[in-house]
Amino acid sequence: MYKTAVYNGAQSSSYAQDVLQMIKSKYPWEKEYIQAVEEILSSVGLLFDQEPLYQDERIMERIVEPERVLMFRVPWRDDAGSIQVNTGYRIGFNSALGPYKGGLRFHSSVTLSILKFLGFEQIFKNALTGLSLGGGKGGSDFNPRGKSNVEIENFCQSFMVGLYKHLGPDTDVPAGDIGVGAREIGYLFGYYKRLKNVFEGVLTGKGLDWGGSVIRPEATGYGAVYFAEEMLKTRGEGIEGKIAAVSGFGNVAWGVVKKVSELGGKVVTLSGPDGFIYDKDGVQGEKIEYMLAMRSSGRDRVKDYAEKFQVDFYPGKRPWGIKCDIAFPSACENEMDADDAGALVDNGCACVTECANMPLTLEAIDCLLHNKILYSPGKASNAGGVACSGFEMAQNSTKVKWTREEVDQRLKQVMIEIHRNCLEAAERYGEPGNYLSGANIAGFIKVADAMLDQGNT
């Protein structure tokens, strides 16, 4: 279940209630999407009383309806020679701030409702980066796990046949998400180039030699650590000397581990679908290289890590019971519930930074806010990934390559700005220190005002 949000229920205007009701009666089966709308409305409802134009110009009714939704058949041939059929999707949710931008998710759980939920979140996340990025999301119910390379290539090519006519560097620029990494982006890009007869920056997360940006693989994790550092600074603290619990074992977790150890902190946990490991000496040095090798070969189990480095392995468990100063949930939706959050609070954890998309349940967030723990929502703290995608687009269109230092510096600057904007918005609208309200309000205002400027589109 995705979280429902009732944070500022009292501040929801009747306009917000009406729009929510409209969405509920129009799409009653889209429960994940309804909940995402509810979450935003619960924070931004108070704006409608202060700015009547939002209501007069029907901004909310427009924002909740995607500009376009593509749904297409993806037939592909498996290794046994049989034809398999999956469903492909691409949602162009909002282009007020720039071309549609957001990842592709290949996972058996993918439905239109889930992609609408993720795409809706993406609008505000992308707005927070301050870059010229609209919001989009796509994917398929295809699950790459256990498929051969040839099957994945066949699938990606067929997926691109369904999609290529609707993409373009100034129209819609997909990227990776769960189940879509460097390999899939390569297959998708190769086929786009062949179908369109043009080499252009139509996907991000590309290989370094063919249009990719340095730091893109690490960017989500690096950005989240920069964000955490900013949050800690508000209490006169920093990452140095801190113990961090991290979940996940993929790109995002890898970026977090690298940056935490670079800044003098120590990551003591990692997790996979098989359980979690506790490494009291810290995940550093060759262990980070090992993570990279596992990530590249698509393996996400952590038991091998435990065996290789002789550390504790807890099968089927989540890492939130381990004593830590900072937690970085970097695996998947709803991986931390209220009991987990309570355990972190009891163990003295001071800061929880969402690195995945919506890894905390509503109850977990409530628990942290109630206990005055620093908490940041993914749409703010994991925006470093899509920000770096924005940098990749800028490099592609100017045909110039930026150095590692330049990309890292810009990434850090974007995260500092997001942090400042969230705090300022939260303060201005009577929720000081509440990063969730701040992120929702700051992101919404940018999109809504651009829509007002652009008239009835």
Residues that bind ligand GLU (CB under 6 A): 101-103, 175, 177, 204, 357, 385-386, 389
Q: Which DSSP string do the residues of 258-302 spell out, in sequence order?
A: HHHHHTT-EEEEEEETTEEEE-TT-S-THHHHHHHHHHHTT---S
333 touches 361 (CB < 8 A): no
Q: Which DSSP string do the residues of 44-55 spell out, in sequence order?
A: HHHHHHH-HHHH
Nearer to ligand GLU, 101 or 242 (CB): 101
266 is catalytic: no
Closest CA to 229 of 370, 412, 411, 360: 412
CB of residue 261 to ligand GLU, shortest distance in Å:
23
Nearer to ligand GLU, 102 or 272 (CB): 102
Contacts of 20 (CB under 8 A, 6+ apart): 34, 37, 38, 41
CB of residue 72 to ligand GLU, shortest distance in Å:
20
CB of residue 177 to ligand GLU, shortest distance in Å:
4
Neighbours of 156 (CB within 10 A): 28
Instruction: Spot the catalytic one: 125, 137, 206, 242.
Output: 137
Nearer to ligand GLU, 245 or 355 (CB): 355
d(CA 392, CA 204): 7
Contacts of 26 (CB under 8 A, 6+ apart): none
Nearer to ligand GLU, 45 or 88 (CB): 88
CB of residue 103 to ligand GLU, shortest distance in Å:
3
User: Could you give the 3-state DSSP secondary structure of residue 146?
Assistant: coil
Closest CA to 338 of 374, 372, 381, 370: 370
**Which residue of this chain has its Cβ atom nearest to ligand GLU in the complex?**
103
Q: What six digits make up the tokens of 173?
A: 């620029």
CB of residue 259 to ligand GLU, shortest distance in Å:
17
Nearer to ligand GLU, 102 or 211 (CB): 102
Cα–Cα distances in angstroms (integers) from residue 239 to residues 58, 282, 382, in the given order: 44, 14, 17
CB of residue 366 to ligand GLU, shortest distance in Å:
24
Nearer to ligand GLU, 357 or 376 (CB): 357
Catalytic residues, by residue number, are: 137
